[in-house]
Amino acid sequence: MESKNELQQKPPILIKLHKDFVDFSYQEKNFIIMLAIFFFIAGATHETPHIAMWVGFFFAAYSAIANDSIQTIGTFIASNKDRPWWHLWLFMSGIFVATISYSWWAYSGDVSYQRLAAKGLEKAPTSFTFLQIAAPIFLMILTRLSIPVSTTFLLLSCFAQSGDTLQKMLMKSFLGYMIAFSIALLFWYFLGKWMKTKFKERAHPGWRIGQWVASAILWAVWLMQDAANIAVYLPRTLNFTEFAVFIVTIFLGLGILFRMGGEHIQQVVDEKTDVVDVRAATVIDIIYALILYVFKEVSQMPMSTTWVFIGLLAGRELAITLAKIGIYRTPRETLAIISKDISKVFLGLLISLLLAISVNPAIRKAIFG
């Protein structure tokens, strides 16, 4: 331990960083121990493909859904805090089982709704490196730090068989952000005040039913897009036993997530305006689900649903401020929130690219030639 005099000699920024590091280490000691165990398991199994693929899947199953939970079940959790957690868990888990089961049945054992049939991802990995298995562990760390990351980039780019695949995912994701931002900006700018006047009184019980239906639809559409991020470690066609392990693992992981009330990243949703209102949450979910469904139909190429969701929230927050709906925040405060979310997304992209460059020769060749 450093003495008080030694700490006082350091610049203020270093003192703050030192304090933050000590506080984080103390508060998250169990999480840090768990990470150490996971890294050890990744190192011990990555050279045995038939074991490594399941280890990578187990890590990805929780980390991908935990980080992406803000997009799908984030508003659902925020607006249903008065409900027992296991009610929410069983409801969303039921939707998960039905959605994935249909893909497995309709696409001959493929649980990704053919996202993994896209060019450059159609071949299942037959060998693994340590970083490929450890990639979801890095995602767990970013999630604990409340950084929304594109799990599509972080996980799929480690296995993409060409740089062209990554480029197409990036272009589709950037387009998704811009479209979601524009739709939200226009929608809430012109209809926000009207909704605010209508949403003053206590919500009719029918809104609660509507929100659960909207959340179920959104969750199902998200799974159609992002189940690929979890299944990328596994064979492209799963037999019944493999399918059962896939279902049970994620079912239990969802239970942990709901019992926690969402991961630390839940604050990205909680700090936004009025998301705890069941009516506002319902509108957000419906618009987001429609955007994802359209992109799903456009092409099989995976995309970052995180970017779409962050764009939707950003456009909504800016519209609420510009239209002075409730005058919750100044433009500067709103832009600060939007900038913070964007910076976190780009930090996640940078980390994903660095990891992909380290792991994947095809990505290195595409970037450096």
In-domain check, residue 182: yes
User: What DSSP character marks residue 152?
Assistant: I
Print the domain residue range for 97: 49-368
Q: What would the two tokens of residue 119 be? A: 């060019």
CA dihedral 266, 270, 276, 278 (to 10 degrees): -50
- Report residues of the chain scoring pLDDT below 70: 1-26, 69-70, 262-276, 326-328, 369
Report yes or no: 152 and 353 within 8 Å, Cβ to Cβ.
no
Q: For 210-264, what is each residue's pLDDT tens digit?
A: 889 998 999 999 999 889 999 999 999 999 999 999 999 999 989 988 888 765 5
Q: What would the two tokens of residue 279 be? A: 């009516």
User: In this predicted structure, what is the pLDDT of residue 240?
Assistant: 97
Q: Which amino acid is at 322?
A: L
Q: What would the two tokens of residue 161 be? A: 């068989």
Task: Find where tokens 């893909």 sit.
Answer: 103
| 175 burial type by CB count under 10 A (0-12 exposed, 13-18 middle, 19+ buried) | middle
Give the chain's length.
Answer: 369
User: In this predicted structure, what is the pLDDT of residue 9?
Assistant: 52
Distances (CA, A) of 151 to 115, 228, 279: 14, 10, 29
Q: Which residues of 323-349 are buried (b: 16+ CB within 10 A; e: fewer)?
A: bebeeeeeeeebeebbeebeebbeebb
In-domain check, residue 202: yes
In-domain check, residue 353: yes
In-domain check, residue 216: yes
How far apart CA 306 and CA 217 sit, in angstroms, is 17
Q: What would the two tokens of residue 298 be? A: 């456009």
In-domain check, residue 41: no
In-domain check, residue 21: no
How far apart CA 200 and CA 329 sit, in angstroms, is 19
Taking the alpha carbons at both ends of the chain, their separation in whole angstroms is 47
User: In this predicted structure, what is the pLDDT of residue 260?
Assistant: 80
Indicate the number of domains in the chain: 1
User: In this predicted structure, what is the pLDDT of residue 34?
Assistant: 92
In-domain check, residue 235: yes
In-domain check, residue 25: no
Tell which residue, 291, 292, 235, has the closest CA to residue 116. Answer: 235
